[in-house]
Amino acid sequence: MNRTLLFIDRLSTAVGKLFAWCIVLLTLVVSYEVFVRYVLGQPTTWAYDVSYILYGTLFMMAGAYALSRNAHVRGDVIYRFFPVKVQASIDLVLYILFFFPGVIALVYSGYFFAKLSFMINEHSSFSPNGPPLYHFKAVIPVAAFFLFLQGAAETVRCVIALRTGVWPQRQHDVEELEKEILARASLEGTAR
């Protein structure tokens, strides 16, 4: 079971890192727009559209990656002091009551939203020669699918934690600075 969970984590990581390159493209687009607007005095008509499309794609496709790293915002000031089984119980209830209904609704409505956009050949109305939007709207159900898949893995983690009292292994690639600071502080405290 743990191999399957780690496979889903690796998949979410690969998708998140692939779409993280959108930030590089976004930086280049904005830098180019600033240069041509303020140095050459010839602003583009497409930079705004490209900017929100790239940022929206990055934001949506990074959701499963953030979930796989347990990085979504949580009011964990009190949560982190709970025993593992209580944490798992809270998470499991919240996944069942809120997460899955929301993600399923996002897959369902996102599919029809994107389908309609393809059918009418939708283009942006924010610029004179607005780029097509159907490819951007197709990202919605795809991102929701990856969120659903990662949410299923997180739900299984909750069930395992309820049974064993220990959170199953999770793939890691970065650590919060807070953890490093706390670890150094505890080492300094024991050295004195």
- Cβ atoms of 117 and 101 within 8 Å: the answer is no
- Cβ atoms of 126 and 49 within 8 Å: the answer is yes
- Cβ atoms of 153 and 8 within 8 Å: the answer is yes
pLDDT of res. 114: 94
Question: pLDDT per residue over 110-161, tens digit each?
Answer: 999 999 999 999 988 887 778 888 999 999 999 999 999 999 999 999 999 9
pLDDT of res. 54: 93
pLDDT of res. 173: 67
Q: How is residue 48 written in tokens? A: 């705004």
Where the chain has pLDDT below 50, the residues are none
pTM (2 d.p.) = 0.83
- Cα 153 to Cα 10: distance, rounded to the nearest angstrom: 12
pLDDT of res. 2: 83
Fill in the DSSP letter of residue 126.
S
Fill in the DSSP letter of residue 167.
P
Task: Delimit the domains of the chain by residue range.
Answer: 2-191
- Cα 85 to Cα 79: distance, rounded to the nearest angstrom: 11
Q: Please report where in the chains the tokens 């389908």 appear, as a residue.
A: 115
pLDDT of res. 87: 92
| Cα Rg of the chain, angstroms | 21
Residue type, 27: T
